[in-house]
Amino acid sequence: MKADIELLRADIRSELEKIAKLNEEFTPFKGTLDLGSGDVSNAEKIMIGYIMHNFYNGCENIFRSIARFFENELDGTAWHRDLLKRMTLEIRGFRPRVITDDLYAFLDDFRGFQHKFRHSYSFELDWEREKVVAAKFSSSLEMLRRDVGKFLENLDMIEEGGDT
């Protein structure tokens, strides 16, 4: 079990490091969020959208690793929504809650944006919608670090045989 928990920790930390790099990539674009649609180039919209898409993808990678570790299988066409929702649940005696309801609400916006981004042409992107989501990036990242950090601490209790 110890090796399995260490592998889970390593997977989560690796994703958090990648997400931190996204934050560095996003920094030059923060001022763009104050601009109207006509003042932002299509290339800037695409780049910001791609960073937001990748941020949520990294969150999902963390959540899938956790779900796999705790044998919390997901099926069906709504697995993206179900995975995110399950991360708000504490499964007493089995798995601690991973994210707060506040972070869930933010990430649910990213989930919806990611779906739109994947299934649209770049010229179909709605800048007003995109910048609302992008404006939540820094706060979402901080909440993710906080919540996942607490989850990692709770893994120590599981490893020691304590209650979650």
pLDDT tens track for 34-69: 999 999 999 999 999 999 999 999 999 999 999 999
Averaged pLDDT, 62-84: 87
Residue 67 lies in a domain: yes
Q: Is residue 117 part of a domain?
A: yes
Predicted confidence band at 139 (pLDDT cuts at 50, 70, 90)? very high
Entry pTM: 0.91
Is 155 contained in some domain? yes
Query: 122 lies in a domain?
Result: yes
Whole-number Å distance between alpha carbons of 77 and 73: 13
For the chain, how many structural domains are there in total? 1
Going by C-alpha positions, the residue among 70, 81, 16, 27 that lies closest to residue 51 is: 27
CATH number for position 82: 1.20.120.580
Q: Do the beta carbons of residue 110 and residue 56 sit within 8 Å?
A: yes
Say what the alpha-carbon torsion angle 164, 105, 143, 134 is, to the nearest 10 degrees: 160
CB 15 within 8 A of CB 61: yes
Range of the domain at 95: 2-159
Task: Classify residue 105: in a domain, yes or no.
Answer: yes
Dist CA 82 CA 97 (whole Å): 14
Is residue 164 a part of any domain in this protein?
Answer: no
